[in-house]
Structure 1
Amino acid sequence: MREAALTLALVGVGAGLVMVERERWRTGLFGVGTVLLVMALARLVLPARRVGALAVRGRLFDVVALLAFGGGVIGLTLTVPIPGP
């Protein structure tokens, strides 16, 4: 059960990338960004022995990095204009 958080994160990112491949890129990348934000929350609240490989550096560094990446992916996804008819 130690790698459950990482496994769930990889499944979520994989599902998002499948959506991107199927030309639902906005929804897929929004999902990837959301998974990164959930990983940040998991890293913040779960003890290091429960998050397994999500614990790369110190807790603060991991949380800030995941928040920055997740927010960046979501922000960039939302700023790309939707093509008009």
Structure 2
Amino acid sequence: MAEPDTPDTPETPGRPVEPPESVPPVSAEPPPEDPDEPRRYPSTIGGAFYLLVLGVVAVSMVVVALDEWRSGVRLMGGALIFAALVRLVLRRRDAGMLAVRHKLLDAGVLLVLGGSLIFLAGSIPDQPGGF
């Protein structure tokens, strides 16, 4: 008995689903204002701030590796708090990679993480023995 030529559905597994020809593919990215102008990287001010925060976090990791872990962790926490403030100020379309969810959720998560790092760096007592 021959199988009918149907798309892959729960009833007929194993056959690929073909996209309908009547629906053209559309990019989620807005078209450039001037098609001859090359794209800028980062393309938003938020992207530039994201790279700045990423650079500060990288520097803070170097500071941690140089046995100044409290200063490095405080610097990292400060960078996250700065990112939260930038996220609160910028509009979603300008926030670039800083925009993940809703503005208040993004800023809240960054504030909690940054504040927690700063709090922990100040509250952990020095350990005898040098580790």
TM-score computed with the length of structure 2 as normaliser: 0.61
Q: Distance in 2 between matches of 1:28 and 1:73?
A: 10
* 1:81 to 2:125 alignment: yes
2:101 counterpart SS class: coil
Q: Which has the higher contact order (CA 8 A, sep 6+)?
A: 1
Instruction: Decide whether the 8 Å contact of 1:40 with 1:62 is kept in 2.
Output: yes
RMSD between aligned alpha carbons? 1.2
For residue 61 of structure 1, the aligned residue among 101, 105, 109 is 105
Alpha-carbon offset, residue 79 of structure 1 = 0.4
Q: Distance in 1 between matches of 2:95 and 2:121?
A: 28
Unaligned ranges ≥5, structure 2: 1-41
Query: How does 1:1-80 map onto structure 2 within 5 Å?
Result: 1=42, 2=44, 3-80=47-124
CA displacement, residues 1-50 of structure 1 (integer Å, 9 cap, x when unaligned): 41101100100100100100111111000000000000000000111222
The answer to which structure has the higher helix fraction is 1
TM-score computed with the length of structure 1 as normaliser: 0.92
Higher Rg? 2
The count of aligned residue pairs is: 84
